[in-house]
Structure 1
């Protein structure tokens, strides 16, 4: 399979046509080998409009949705970023000049993506998704959905930091962007999306009598 040609087709047919016009972001997505973030027996689906499997039930976000989240954070060279359950997005941010840490909760997932992340200059850590590694980030991004406002992630942002994630209730979800100001957080809706939920990021069941 000609992966370089497939990347070009992905950017042309799934990214540009979905209002992702940032040329630096497009170039980064053309350069990052998405196939290296898929399970070895699923690399053929890396550039299709499907959620390519990594391991243990984890998948990569659809290219157009990942591109929209990446576009929303407006990454700048030299910024720090935490990619929570977002190995591909983390590699793209590194290509854009950010200093990136990729956090995974499952070692089996990290075993698949670690070589590509290392080549991209991305640091890696294994920790539960509801416990973000470190603090003071300019960017936090996730390729999985969360069921509740991820307050711990918001608290890990620096002032001026941005969080891009999909908030999902049932079958419906919405990509959102949070911005941390000196006096709190603002939130902006971005687009409809419904990627799989991240482990540990669903609401606790409520009981009533």
Structure 2
């Protein structure tokens, strides 16, 4: 069996998938070009680390497609002073990207085994500024406020508690709506009423507890 040239695959992913989808932020492209995505992919699917598909994780979770990760990072427009709250660590790859682009990341993961695996991979990449917390975002409490919130699963309706975790002037990336026509948006925490900026259309699995309530027919 031939070994995969992951560095070459990573370069092709950036040039043939991510860039053509209007991800042009040099810092984002640099992170995606340098972080070994394959290190975060479960072993059975590692050969697919740079393909344009979502990849399965334990508990029915999924890694976003690389293009969606790229657009997410570009939309947040992080700077090196920002603090970030990620909701849904999953593999830890997006947390690693966020860690490279910001000062500090707190990442919530409701599955203890996924949290442990992500911590190990983040440590292996030397990312000491990413703290993975085993917690459910719908029950977690904190008095901290963050420059940015990154939600890695879809919501039917954006929960107020997520907005409350933003500093004044902060922004949140979240995908909302009903499959298959969901909308990725940036929520700007502005005085009075949050402002919502549409970014692109996509389709993601719902965060646990965030799917639409089933409609009852009488």
- TM class, shorter-length: over 0.9
- 1:15 CA displacement: 1.1
**2:84 touches 2:102 (CA, 8 Å); kept in 1?**
no
Return the match for 2:118 from 99, 109, 113. Answer: 113
CA offset digits 1:144-192 (Å, max 9, x no partner):
2112112211111001111001113132211111000122310011111
> Alpha carbon RMSD of aligned pairs, Å?
1.7
Q: What 5-or-longer segments of structure 2 have no aligned partner?
A: none
2-structure distance, mates of 1:27, 1:133: 34
2-structure distance, mates of 1:22, 1:167: 24
| 1:128 corresponds to 2:128 | no
User: TM-score, normalized by length of structure 1?
Assistant: 0.92
Q: What 5-or-longer segments of structure 1 have no aligned partner?
A: none
2-structure distance, mates of 1:45, 1:133: 37
- Write the mapping of 1:32-47 to structure 2, written as runs, cut at 5 A: 32-47=35-50
Return the match for 2:25 from 17, 22, 25. Answer: 22
1-structure distance, mates of 2:37, 2:141: 24
**2:173 touches 2:186 (CA, 8 Å); kept in 1?**
yes
Q: Name which one, 1 or 2, has greater alpha-carbon Rg.
A: 2
CA offset digits 1:5-30 (Å, max 9, x no partner):
11111111111111111111100111
User: TM-score, normalized by length of structure 2?
Assistant: 0.89
For these two proteins, the number of residue pairs brought into alignment is 209
